[in-house]
Amino acid sequence: MKKLLVLTLVALGTTQALHAQDEVELGYFDNLSVGLSVGSDGIGFDVAAPISEYAAVRGGFSFVPTIKVNKTIHATSNKNSSVCDDIKIQAKGQIFNGKLLFDYYPFKNSSFHLTAGAFFGTSEIVKIHNTSPILKDPADYGTAGLILGSGDKEYQLTTDKDGNAKIKAKVNGFKPYIGLGFGRAVMKKQRFGVSFDMGVQFWGKPGVYADAKKNDAFSQQEKDHHFKYKDLADDDDKDLRDAIKTVEKITVCPVLNIRLTYRIFK
């Protein structure tokens, strides 16, 4: 019985010692964790370090895998008779961002946190190009194209020497972020952890841009002309007008993700 009691006390003491050894005090950059996240901002990887018991900093990157959408537009109402009636186009979206985020914990042992920081990277979030000829005559490649707008705001969406025209949806490259969540960037008692984050990226006012020029005899090539919804004429392609109108409204991007963490240092 005495031997059993001694063994039990030793086992309990060892367990407590191991638990105490695994629990850490978080100081100024004295621990480090790595994290893998997945969510509306894509797939992400980051490293995190505590600043104190009440704050931590995270740095890393995230990316949204390439998404492609194919569509056929009808240009029968176009004023340029050299333009094909049906044009196949492809929209491709891909986003890659670096990120620097600061978590604040209201209490020493709090899992709830407030987050502020920024994402920075891709500004061209969607690129659109034709996959079938826009112009009927290859001799017009590089000079002619689709006519958009009307009056003094009439522009020609020009093609390059290979007959391709490109449109881009662009946002700010620097995107401030605020949010909140649950879970610590660097765990105190366990090496593995799970955390949740939700918030918004501020994209600024998006725009739709393309290589275009004023449709008159004195115009010069204008790179990245900003097409606004109100600049387009009523007889322009309705899908394009609706797309630009929708893009102009998306000034923030919601973020919701789950993050798996592993503490490297004690």
Dump pLDDT digits (tens) for 15-73. Answer: 344 444 456 666 666 788 999 999 999 999 999 999 988 999 999 999 998 889 898 87
Please count the helices (runs of H) and the strands (runs of E) in the chain. Answer: 2, 14
pLDDT of residue 75: 67
pLDDT of residue 72: 86
The pLDDT-based confidence of 180 (bands split at 50, 70, 90) is very high
pLDDT of residue 11: 43
The count of other CB atoms within 10 Å of the CB of residue 264 is 11
Q: Average pLDDT of 182-186?
A: 90
Question: Quick one: which of 59, 67, 54, 66 has its CA closest to 37?
Answer: 59
The pLDDT-based confidence of 240 (bands split at 50, 70, 90) is low
Give the pLDDT confidence of 73-83 residue by residue, as tens digits: 776 545 556 78
CB 119 within 8 A of CB 97: yes
In the block, residue with structure tokens 């186009």 = 89
pLDDT of residue 97: 95
The count of other CB atoms within 10 Å of the CB of residue 206 is 20
Topology annotation, domain 2-263 = Porin (2.40.160)
In whole angstroms, what is the distance from residue 226 CA to residue 148 CA? 12
pLDDT of residue 27: 65
Beta bridge partners of 98: 61, 120
